[in-house]
Amino acid sequence: METFKGYLFDIYHSEQKIYLWIKSDSGELKLFFDEFYPIIYADASPSILKKLVKRFYELDALAEIPTVTEKRLFYENKSIPVLKLVISKPQLLPKITNKLFHLYGKYDIYHSDIEITTGYMVEKDIYPLCYLEIGYESTKNDLARIKTIQSLTDIHELDYKIPNLTTISLSLEKSHRIPLEKNALLVKTSNGNYRIPTNNSSELIHELNSIFKKHDPDMILSEFGDQIIFPYLFKTAQDNHITTEFDRDKTSTIRRSIQTKGTSFNTYGTIVYRAPSYPLFGRWHIDSKNGFVYKEADLMGVIELARISRLPIQKMARASTGKALTYIEVDVALRMDYLVPWQKSALEAPKTALELLNADKGGLVFQADTRNGFVLENVAQLDFSQMYPKVMVLHNISPETINCLCCRDDPTTETVPSLGYRICKKRKGVVSEALSHIVERRTYYKKQSKEINHPDKSNIDQKQSSLKWMLVTSFGYLGYRNAKFGKLESHESVTAFGREKLIIAKEVAEDYGYNLIHAITDCIFIQKEDRSPIQTENLEEVCRLIQQKTKIAMDIEGIFSWVSFPPSTTDQKMPVANRYMGRFMDGKFKGRGIILRRKDYPIYIKNAQAEMVRWMCRFESIKEMQSHESEILEIFKKCDEPLSRGSANWKDLLLQRSTSQDPEGYTVDAPSAVAVKDLLEMGVRVQAGEKVRYLVVNQKSHQKGERYRTEERIENKDLLNIIRYDKNYYRKLLLRSFKEIWSSLASFKNFEDLISDEQLLPF
């Protein structure tokens, strides 16, 4: 038996075989295989179980004779006899899970929907990019069969190393909706860039093959690779019988069904589109346009979540943070010897209308106090550090611990404030146990991130950003209808504790002589009663007492020299709860909810507002800022001039919208509907949840085709030098962005004069 050491680079399965690519310290990549037979458990009446076993035998899907064993139920916390089934054909598991929807209630099956590769890694105690040692023997066809496998690193490591990776980037020259034959493929390598025409599909494949052979990349980073590029490449290769170099694996049986249609689904009232998946075998393919984690936290964010969730890198790159969290919880549940349910089984307990009103309150918000104006000086912002996840860890909140049966008659059991729900004190919850390590990791990375000269600061920021989004997800998943480990009462318990802790923070600050200016969920804005400057030392004392009373750390986010709570566009006398902007004492800016932070405004408008905000941050006081009003009006005029002349770049004026339905579903000619139907006329079908970008050409036109023009229509016509847009519409957007940040400080009221034909400026 020989041995090999290296990092677990890639892992996937085909039939009952698990394939592992290991990358050594020297960069050598070696392929290994192992056999894996997943175990599932079934609970049903003897007659149903008999039929189930018979069906498995007919499919030749059992590796062992079924046996009865004792396992523990997750919610009930009691052991029951279940039938243990060792599956010889793992590829049947998805079909088994799908069948459950039709047979729901007749029998329960556990562990059936755990990813096969993840199940293997849990059993062997390995994880993506762990450093491991493999004992193997070579087979007749030169494949290396694993005999022993052992991780030499710990999944809880924080300062881990990853191997050096070579990367190639793939993108399209024009919009991904322009037919590939009229487009071009742009390839970036470490040694140079290529532009490959796509009008000859065979030559395109041969050209890419030579690039892959020359550079042998570990990772392909693409834009629209899942949706457009790889479906086209694989179909072209199949049609022309060309062998590609995209996969490193040339030994295992790889079958790809070419699919271009993605899936659209509704989540939290929003339609989300997910493109089909095209992972590679022996290389990583990450589509930057088809994965939330990469968009928000880059490559190290994907690696961080893949390691702790035991999801393969390419799966994690396309998965949600919620899926990663679920697999971390599955790992914890398996270690606690629980039966993992195939879907959420804890239903909400019945409530009276009064009980529902009391329980379903959500986070606490104090509307901003604007009696002294919408712009205030010397205001401090204090934030609870990761409040909701820490509440779940601190108070042991998990679906199985809320109103548990084992503590029903124990008067010493902790209860949820204002709701009276019991919290189990006899066992640690799966969710709270899983989150404790995630919270610990993020705290560690945040501390490192604050070290200005840290040599690995960029990677640290990516890691902590990915964990931040996972922790944000953790609270929502407690009440999510499809969460494997969810229960509405546990969700309500978290917000109840959150409300109590925010009130405590408010009261402590007021005891120290501060007025509450604003509060929302996990942070408070406070100001001294005499509005004088605030000392950091005094705030630290306030934070210490709040932490002492709530058991959760309260951090000083910063002290604003001035902070603005912009008025609502619908009611100029009222601020908006989640919208504010201000300048910290060190000159840094922070803003939430304003136009430059939004995704539904053109780049040009956002950049213009950002420039005006930078100017505002030069001044420490409101009075000083107002005395230089003519300067910000000059900036506005400078930004308005290209718009009024029609010389602004049309690409910077594109608006992006998510579609809410397929083309046939639209009945009103709203901008998104017009854009979708325009693309359909071009032969491009846009699915619900996809994003469209369009230019407002003439909003008041009676012909809908002349109101808006899609990016693809403009590029397809090749009239880039004479593109016209609705000047009045975009100037109004610019005015709105200016008014949002300056209306509370302006010496004039009629902002519309700024874009009138006469250009009546007030100075």
Q: What are phi and psi of 427, to 5 degrees?
A: -145, 150
Mutual angle of helices 457-478 and 292-309, in 10-degree steps: 80
Instruction: Look at the block and give the residue holding tokens 């803003």.
Output: 591
pLDDT tens across 257-288, in order?
Answer: 788 788 887 776 688 888 999 999 999 999 99
232, 262, 288 - which closes a domain: 288
Residues 30 and 143 placed together within one structural domain of the fold: yes
Residues 73 and 136 placed together within one structural domain of the fold: no
Has residue 189 been placed in a domain? yes
Has residue 449 been placed in a domain? no
Is it the case that residue 104 has pLDDT exceeding 60?
no
* Widest CA span in the chain: 90
Has residue 582 been placed in a domain? no
pTM of the model as a whole: 0.91
Closest-CA residue to 243 (of 274, 215, 209, 280): 209
Has residue 624 been placed in a domain? no
Compute the CA torsion angle 124, 129, 134, 139 (nearest 10 deg): 100
d(CA 723, CA 647): 9
Residues 19 and 147 placed together within one structural domain of the fold: yes
Q: Please answer whether residues 468 and 443 qualify as being in contact, where contact means their C-beta atoms are separated by less than 8 angstroms.
A: no
Confidence of residue 761 (pLDDT cuts 50, 70, 90): very low
Per-residue pLDDT, 481:
66
One-letter amino acid at 717 equals K
Has residue 586 been placed in a domain? no
Phi-psi region of 268 (alpha: psi -120 to 50; beta: other; left: phi over 0): left
Per-residue pLDDT, 762:
45
Of 437-441, 533-537, 569-573, the one with minimum mean pLDDT is 569-573
pLDDT tens across 598-634, in order?
Answer: 999 999 999 999 999 999 999 999 999 999 999 999 9
Residues 230 and 190 placed together within one structural domain of the fold: yes
- Coil, helix or strand at residue 668: coil
One-letter amino acid at 115 equals E
Of residues 720 and 757, which shows the higher confidence score? 757
Residues 504-515 have a mean pLDDT of 96
Residues 208-232 have a mean pLDDT of 95
Residues forming beta bridges with residue 187, ordered by sequence position: 170, 194
d(CA 637, CA 753): 12
pLDDT tens across 405-449, in order?
Answer: 888 888 899 999 999 999 999 999 999 999 999 999 999 999 998
Helices (H), 412-531: 430-449, 457-478, 488-511
Beta strands in 613-718, from DSSP E residues, in sequence order: 655-658, 691-696, 708-710
245, 263, 288 - which closes a domain: 288
CA atoms within 13 A on the CB side of 105: 1
Per-residue pLDDT, 91:
81
Q: Please answer whether residues 724 and 701 qualify as being in contact, where contact means their C-beta atoms are separated by less than 8 angstroms.
A: no
pLDDT tens across 130-181, in order?
Answer: 999 999 998 877 789 999 999 999 999 999 999 999 999 999 998 898 888 8
Tokens of 637: 């005029």
* CATH code of residue 200: 3.30.420.10
Q: What is the DSSP string of 345-409?
A: --PPPP--HHHHHHH---S-EE----TT-SEEEEEEEEEETTHHHHHHHHTT--TTTBT-STTTT
Q: What are phi and psi of 360, to 5 degrees?
A: -95, 65
Q: Which long-range contacts (CB under 8 A, 24 or more apart) does 710-718 make?
A: 710/675, 710/678, 710/679, 711/175, 711/651, 711/654, 712/175, 712/177, 712/178, 712/679, 712/682, 712/684, 713/678, 713/679, 713/682, 714/650, 715/174, 715/175, 715/178, 716/178, 716/182, 716/682
Q: How far is CA 624 from the centre of its chain?
A: 41
Beta strands in 621-724, from DSSP E residues, in sequence order: 655-658, 691-696, 708-710
* CATH code of residue 26: 2.40.50.140
Average pLDDT over the chain reads 90
Residues 6+ apart with CB under 8 A from 5: 22, 24, 25, 131, 132, 133, 134, 152
Residues 144 and 240 placed together within one structural domain of the fold: no
Residues 277 and 214 placed together within one structural domain of the fold: yes
Confidence of residue 681 (pLDDT cuts 50, 70, 90): confident
pLDDT tens across 73-90, in order?
Answer: 888 888 999 999 999 988
667: containing domain: 650-724
Q: Which long-range contacts (CB under 8 A, 24 or more apart) does 418-424 make?
A: 418/358, 418/496, 418/499, 418/500, 419/358, 419/359, 419/492, 419/493, 419/496, 421/489, 421/492, 421/493, 423/395, 423/396, 423/397, 423/493, 424/396, 424/400
Has residue 303 been placed in a domain? no
Per-residue pLDDT, 252:
61
CA atoms within 13 A on the CB side of 477: 26
Residues 738-753 have a mean pLDDT of 93
Residues 133 and 210 placed together within one structural domain of the fold: no
Residues 6 and 145 placed together within one structural domain of the fold: yes
Of 96-110, 488-502, 510-524, 583-597, the one with minimum mean pLDDT is 96-110
Confidence of residue 344 (pLDDT cuts 50, 70, 90): low
One-letter amino acid at 308 equals I
Per-residue pLDDT, 624:
96
Has residue 250 been placed in a domain? yes
Mutual angle of helices 292-309 and 321-335, in 10-degree steps: 10
Residues 570-584 have a mean pLDDT of 92
Residues 74 and 146 placed together within one structural domain of the fold: no
Compute the CA torsion angle 114, 331, 489, 44 (nearest 10 deg): 50
Closest-CA residue to 155 (of 133, 134, 132, 126): 126
Is it the case that residue 529 has pLDDT exceeding 60?
yes
Phi-psi region of 298 (alpha: psi -120 to 50; beta: other; left: phi over 0): left
Q: Please answer whether residues 741 and 616 qualify as being in contact, where contact means their C-beta atoms are separated by less than 8 angstroms.
A: yes
Confidence of residue 763 (pLDDT cuts 50, 70, 90): very low
Separation of first and last alpha carbons in the chain: 86
d(CA 390, CA 167): 38
Q: Whats the size of the chain, residue-wise?
A: 763
Residues 201 and 275 placed together within one structural domain of the fold: yes
Q: Residue 338 class from Cβ within 10 Å (0-12 exposed, 13-18 middle, 19+ buried)?
A: buried
Q: Residue 547 class from Cβ within 10 Å (0-12 exposed, 13-18 middle, 19+ buried)?
A: middle
pLDDT tens across 31-75, in order?
Answer: 999 999 999 999 988 988 898 888 888 888 899 999 999 999 888
Give the angle subtended at the CA of 128 by the CAs of 122 and 133, to the nearest 5°.
80
Q: Which residues of 371-406 are buried (b: 16+ CB within 10 A; e: fewer)?
A: eeebbbbbbbbbbbbbbbbbbbbbbbbbbbbbbbeb
Q: Please answer whether residues 515 and 368 qualify as being in contact, where contact means their C-beta atoms are separated by less than 8 angstroms.
A: no
**DSSP symbol at 665:** G
Residues 105 and 131 placed together within one structural domain of the fold: no
Q: What is the DSSP string of 218-233?
A: SEEEESSIIIIIHHHH
Per-residue pLDDT, 721:
56
Has residue 284 been placed in a domain? yes
Is it the case that residue 244 has pLDDT exceeding 50?
yes
Q: Please answer whether residues 282 and 20 qualify as being in contact, where contact means their C-beta atoms are separated by less than 8 angstroms.
A: no
Q: How many domains does the chain have?
A: 4
pLDDT tens across 472-490, in order?
Answer: 988 887 877 667 787 889 9
Residues 13 and 98 placed together within one structural domain of the fold: no
Q: How far is CA 487 from the centre of its chain?
A: 22
Question: For a pLDDT cut of 90, what percent of the chain falls above it?
Answer: 66
Q: Please answer whether residues 389 and 475 qualify as being in contact, where contact means their C-beta atoms are separated by less than 8 angstroms.
A: yes
Confidence of residue 343 (pLDDT cuts 50, 70, 90): low
| H or E element in which residue 126 lies | none
d(CA 328, CA 364): 30
Residues 756-762 have a mean pLDDT of 54
Q: Please answer whether residues 85 and 39 qualify as being in contact, where contact means their C-beta atoms are separated by less than 8 angstroms.
A: yes
Report, in angstroms and rounded to the nearest whole number, the Rg of the chain calculated over CA atoms: 29
